[in-house]
Amino acid sequence: MSAIGRRRGIHYLQKLSAANIPSDLIEKGQSRVIDASLTLIREKAKLKGELVRALGGSLASTSLLGVPLGHNSSFLQGPAFAPPRIREAMWCGSTNSTTEEGKELKDPRVLTDVGDLSVQEIRDCGVDDDRLMNVISESVKLVMEEDPLRPLVLGGDHSISYPVVRAVSEKLGGPVDILHLDAHPDIYDAFEGNKYSHASPFARIMEGGYARRLLQVGIRSINSEGREQGKRFGVEQYEMRTFSRDRHFLEHLKLGEGVKGVYISVDVDCLDPAFAPGVSHFEPGGLSFRDVLNILHNLQGNLVAADVVEYNPQRDAVDGLTAMVAAKLVRELAAKMSK
């Protein structure tokens, strides 16, 4: 278990228990806060879905959902502050709202936003991670219920990918293929004893049968457990030390045939820290930004959902450089998903 922020809700719950507050009273209060948080997501998703359907002509429209969770990080918890910073950079006046492939992000048929799940407010009521993960999954399903909205989730640390992928797979009725861009495989069984660690989401995803194929690209910090877990789950791991050899294959991926679609998870530290210094874990020798865009732009497959995680504003530099990097990733993924 790690860090002060992760224990805040637990300590609050212990105080209530010590004061002999009945457990059913605590649980009812927690449920009210959860319901209020989900209601806001639900109603915003309904509104945005109605708008897109009224405009017509959209088969898939990307919808942003923020999950500002940082307490499952093993080092720094700054990713909890990322979603608003990414949004700010997305709409910064220093650039325009057209993506590289020519889609206009101000068109709600391309991109809408349902806001952030109230993660810290929920945790402050003593809600544990088992229940919190269920709430995150439910928020994702609320977006997916509003056809043609498809969720693009703004993290947050990488632990959010497990409940998001679970929700997508359950809602679609079967597994997806996952393209995972990262410096780390994040497939520990339970890093530091935490099964929901940001270093463990893909172990939970593969255990649950939510992915048929998992391709991990950009890996350059992996130990024996990471490799053993990869073999156990049949993961396709593409390390940076062989990227020049693998480049052609990775820039011409075709995924999702025979399953419910493609999910993309982008950890910002897949990039070399020269391109993205605002991350918790500096791992030199990573992908260039254009490497990542080439992989994303050329991917063939039905992109049903995605996440961008592990941007840490507290380590950013040069007037929000990494915020702009994360924002551009979000913009290009939004264009890729919408149709």
Q: Any binding-site annotation on 269?
A: yes
Q: Any binding-site annotation on 281?
A: no
- Between CA 50 and CA 312 the distance in angstroms is 34
> What are the residues whose beta carbons fall under 8 Å from the beta carbon of 135, sequence distance 6 or more?
34, 37, 38, 117, 122, 127
In DSSP terms, 31 is beta-bridged to none
Q: Please state, as a whole number, how many other Cβ atoms lie within 10 Å of the Cβ of residue 63.
A: 27
Q: Any binding-site annotation on 184?
A: yes
Q: Please state, as a whole number, how many other Cβ atoms lie within 10 Å of the Cβ of residue 258.
A: 9
- Between CA 50 and CA 70 the distance in angstroms is 32
- Between CA 197 and CA 77 the distance in angstroms is 12
Q: Any binding-site annotation on 267?
A: yes
DSSP conformational letter for 68: -
| Contact by Cβ (8 Å): 213, 236 | yes
For the chain, list the strands marked E by DSSP. Answer: 61-67, 111-116, 149-155, 176-181, 211-219, 236-239, 262-267, 303-309
| Nearest by Cα to 216 from 208, 318, 201 | 201
Q: Which residue numbers belong to the known binding site?
A: 158, 182, 184, 186, 267, 269
Per the annotation, where are the binding residues for Mn(2+)? Answer: 158, 182, 184, 186, 267, 269
